Structure 1
Amino acid sequence: MFVFTDEAGDNGLNSQDKYKIIIFSHFFDENDIKDTVESFKKLSKFYFGNSLRSWKKQKGMIKNNPEILNKFLKDFLGETDNKFLLSVGIIEKNKEYYKNPSQVKDETINLYANLFRRGIPFYKWAYYNLGGYKISGTPKIRWYIDQNDDQGFTKPLIKQISEYSKLNNVKLEGPKFLPKPKVLKKNKSDSIKILYSQTIEMTDNFSGIILKGLNNNDSKYDTTMKLIFSRAKYIKISIGEKKPWKWDNIMISPMDLKMKYIDLIGYDYYNVFDEYK
């Protein structure tokens, strides 16, 4: 399993960002990574006029146009069906719950770790049903993250995830910190590193779009966000004739505010999943 992670927003309680977003892109196969990134690049060129860039560097006329974002995402998700999954964490930086940036940082670590924990049983289930134990032994999670992220922040996070992985007999490889694609290309790095860095940059677009939609508090972005959430919720995954796995990995923090976002993210799958057959 390959996991590419990214965040959007900061820890400040008085910044323009009222939220902090955590997002994971999950892949089982390197070919799926290649196909997904190529689709993203091709459709970005068609809809945005550029192949692949970080959300921060995307044109304002694109960021402020949910209609074109919707068209792009519908085509992209259609082309990459069954290629990847997402996990999403949303922290509302509500001052009734968080008194200082340090508390937001601590909650980011907790939510990050919880998203990983929810994913590990699924990785093991899929690995077993794909015959991985017989072919390769212990399952591995290969974790990649942007080199520009706060590496000090990841130390307590790595400890939590490593301990949980070990308890569940999963080998954690990483996180491996990768520079931006343009830096790797300039240094003539190998094509796989460049591909993985591009996957992080793609993931950055998902987190940026969600942050934009929530910050704007504009219903015009609801469909845009729901399209991204559709890869993180209400998904039945079948392998052979085994009972399908129900993938649902969107988390809201503080949990007390979860009902506030029900219209946007829906109820947990175990309450309503039969409606989404």
Structure 2
Amino acid sequence: MKIGPENDGASLRRSWGVPLSVAAGVTAVSVAAVVVLGGTGDARPRVADRALSGGSPTGAASPTPSTTRGSTSGGVGSAPTSNHETSDPDAFTITKSTTTPIQAGTVAKVLSSCLGAEASRYHAVVAVRTPASSRDWDGVVVAVNSSGQYVQCAAKGDKGSSPDSPPTFINDRLWGTGRVIEYFDSGREPAGKGQYLMVGAGHYTSDVAKITVSYGGKPKQYPALMAGGAFVYAAVLSPDTPPGPHYAGPSPYIHAYDASGKELYNQAKDPKFTSTQ
């Protein structure tokens, strides 16, 4: 499934979509159904969170690691296989997961090119360079306006773009069961020989103190960057065997915990994403 204008042929719109593991659980979403975030009583950005966030996710053991299922490709269903495809969706290695902050001056340029005249209405809450560059991405900026509406811009240098029209289309578009985690855009793109960059973002409610992401059926969880009610994750993976042209790769799964370490949400167990119906 692809979310966004069907008549836009830009490469980012072919790459970015709803979470990579959502294809089996969601069949259709209407632009007309989008509701402005904040009107549902969910968490608003706090003033203390408004600084740009960087970080160095190096992998963190989960309080309650779990096993996840296989992968889908780009939110459009399982990819076909060939003799050269990786048959095991868990036959991969996360090789990089370190991000670095994007400087404020560059963030302003990214938002300006991404949002145009609307850019002045938004302030960035998370702005980071990804651990590797692909053709279209080397960073992510998530920003919010005074109404609590988020936008997510893919960065390449000091340029930004959004696969959504309008960019606020991500708000209230896709909540996980229980409405603890809301998903923005995610994607995967080649990032050099034998490497793939995986990037995603979303919104969390005020009960959440920690968000991690696991990949495929592997239990290890990596910390996401969190600020202003938004989270971002980015990692580079390498298949253990040479993939074919339609490599599906593993699905990312979001996990949320409260301040005591109790798991509030596990995407791998969310029927909205695990159901085959």
Name the TM tier (shorter chain). Answer: under 0.3
TM-score normalised according to structure 2 size:
0.27
TM-score normalised according to structure 1 size:
0.27
Point out the structure with the larger strand share. Answer: 2
Q: Decide which structure has the larger Cα Rg and report it.
A: 1
Point out the structure with the larger helix share. Answer: 1
